Amino acid sequence: MSGKVITVTSGKGGVGKTTVTANIATALAMMGKKVVAIDADIGLRNLDVVMGLENRIVYDLVDVIEGRCRLRQAMIKDKRQPDLYLIPAAQTRDKMAVSPSDMILVCDELRQEMDYIIVDSPAGIERGFRNAVAPADHVLIVTNPEVSAVRDADRIIGLLEAEEKGPGRLIINRLKPDMVARGDMLSIDDVLDILAVELIGVIPEDESILVSSNRGTPVAMSGSNGSSASQAFRNVAQRIEGQTVPFVDLTPKTGLLSRLNNWFSKS
Amino acid sequence: MEQVASQIGIKGIREGLLISVPDRGSFADLMALLNVELAQKQAFLQGSQVALQVGYRKLDKDHLRQLQAVFEQNQLELWAILAEDPSAREAARDLSLATRLSGSQTDLNGNFLSQMPEPGAATAVAPQPPQGGLILKETLRSGRSIYHEGHVVIIGDVNPGAEIVASGDVIVWGRLRGLVHAGALGDETAVICALELNPTQLRIADQIAISPEEKRGRTIPEQVAIRNGQIVAEMWQK
């Protein structure tokens, strides 16, 4: 068995890499896959908090690399999903504690027994980013529908192409359909127009994400009666598995009058 | 002869080679000197563009034609004469040779080049961009920078945050949304063309322009050039 390494990155900070990592790992685990999430943000770890596993940390990624524990000992088993694990980042060290070849070694070992290894990249384009991308088979680029996030995503795609990691696939996070409809936010088409890469998910802005992150319960876990964001994350997981899932229509429901208006302004 | 030969200085500058020759001695001696020196180093120098620094030597058009021929024989192109003598400069201009280096008045070693343009004299004549152009068949994403002496053709988009600096023209077969500087060594005749023109900033020679604030709905090919001292965009098809 040889698992796939998927790195989640963005360039810009605060666009939702960690949230996306936690939810996609969770959603894949709910589909019966064996999944491990790795927090590569050494020194600024978050993924353990979002997954609600902070209080179970004994060993971390740097302990594994520096030989203080076996890989298995650093893998924290999730509270709810039997086949979901987390390898947390060290809190006290910095990015230089890990090298790209260390990451490749760790991931190659994990490939033996896991279906998916999801790596949460730190923001930026320096050592931490290179560490996270080095072992990747696939890259997911997270961006928000705003100009600065798209600019950074574009830079990241350029760097990935230069490293021959492929163009990556895009997740547009925190989309507000009503703002797009008013013309106050970049639309999906605007973003794709610049980045010109394959879209694998659109996550609508959803208050339940903040609530669930604070609680340490990824929103993807909230089952079929969950929020729209919950459904969107599960759709991404299915697309990663190779299934064809239609994109949820996020255009706000409009009355006859405004539809007529739209129709006239288009022509 | 050995002693005289060492008086020929050759160094690399941004525009190619700067060759300086002594301003004393007869013209015939100079020609002999150049012939020997260039023939010796031909393999190393050939294909370069040459600016010739002649100091106070008096040269007429006939002399300059002979110099051009000598460089040509050695597969070098003479494009500039840097002379202290006004009549020599005049003769050089008549043969459409440049009489000063463009841009900064210093060479790569930081030495200040002595000749400055006289007030009212013809302004800088930019070197002809090299014949070779650079063709890139890819989209330039944010953070990419392309610097090239000559023309640049991009088959793909130029995204915001990417920049192209070229001494010649810049053609974008795609959407231009980044920064382009054409004629970067001072060529005001350089143009920028794009299928869809929506740049963050455009520069031609020492002129700078930004796109109008309002978003334009039309997406038609346009060409940008300097007209009457201003950068203007014109529709490709009138």
pLDDT tens string B189-228: 999 999 999 999 999 999 999 887 766 666 889 999 999 9
B-chain CB neighbours of A159 within 8 Å are 143
B-chain CB neighbours of A155 within 8 Å are 141-143, 161
Name the average pLDDT for chain B.
81
pLDDT of the residue at A255: 57
| Interface membership of A155 toward B (CB under 8 Å) | yes
Q: Which pLDDT tens digit goes with each residue over A203-234?
A: 999 999 999 998 899 998 886 566 889 999 99
Contact predicate B124/B102, CB 8 Å: yes
Nearest CA in chain B to A160: B141
Report the C-alpha gap between B90 and B85 in whole angstroms: 9
pTM for the full predicted model: 0.67
Query: Are the Cβ atoms of A151 and B139 closer than 8 angstroms?
Result: no
Q: Rounded to a whole number, what is the distance in Å from the CA of A126 to chain B's nearest CA? A: 14
pLDDT of the residue at A52: 93
Whether the predicted interface score ipTM is above 0.90: no
Chain A, chain B: beta-carbon pairs less than 8 Å apart: 28
Q: Point out the residue among B143, B144, B159 whose CB comes nearest to the CB of A194.
A: B159
Residues of B with CB under 8 A from a CB of A: 139-144, 157, 159-161, 177
Chain B interface disruption, residue of A126, A151, A184, most B CBs within 10 A: A151
| Beta-sheet pairing, B222-227 with B192-197 | antiparallel
B-chain CB neighbours of A149 within 8 Å are none
- Find the mean pLDDT for residues B18-47: 82
A-chain CB neighbours of B163 within 8 Å are none
Q: Which residues contact A2 (CB under 8 A, 6 or more apart)?
A: A111, A112
Contact predicate A239/A249, CB 8 Å: no
A-chain CB neighbours of B139 within 8 Å are 196
Q: What are B21's two structure tokens?
A: 């020759």
Q: Rounded to a whole number, what is the distance in Å from the CA of A243 to chain B's nearest CA? A: 30
Helix/strand/coil for A226 = coil
Contact predicate B158/B175, CB 8 Å: yes
Q: A residues 108-137 near B, CB within 8 Å?
A: none
Query: Are the Cβ atoms of A158 and B157 closer than 8 angstroms?
Result: no
Does residue B34 surpass a pLDDT of 60?
yes
pLDDT of the residue at A259: 57
DSSP string, chain B: -HHHHTT-EEEEETTEEEEE--SSS-HHHHHHHHHHHHHHTHHHHTT-EEEEEEET----HHHHHHHHHHHHHTT-EEEEEEESSHHHHHHHHHTT-B-S-SSSSB-TT-PBPS--PPTTS----PPPPPS--EEE-S-B-TT-EEEESS-EEEES-B-TT-EEEESS-EEEEEEE-SEEEESTTS-TT--EEEEEE--SEEEETTEEE---SSPP-----EEEEEETTEEEEEES--
Burial of B221 (0-12, 13-18, 19+ CB in 10 A): middle
pLDDT of the residue at B218: 67
Q: Rounded to a whole number, what is the distance in Å from the CA of B142 to chain A's nearest CA? A: 5
How many Å separate Cα B42 from the centre of its chain? 23
| Interface membership of A252 toward B (CB under 8 Å) | no
Query: Are the Cβ atoms of B160 and A157 closer than 8 angstroms?
Result: no
Report the C-alpha gap between A46 and B35 in whole angstroms: 73
Report the C-alpha gap between B17 and B51 in whole angstroms: 6
Cα atoms found within 13 Å of the Cα of residue A51, Cβ hemisphere only = 35
| Interface membership of A152 toward B (CB under 8 Å) | yes
Query: Are the Cβ atoms of A155 and B177 closer than 8 angstroms?
Result: no
Contact predicate A53/A215, CB 8 Å: no
pLDDT of the residue at A254: 59
pLDDT of the residue at B119: 40
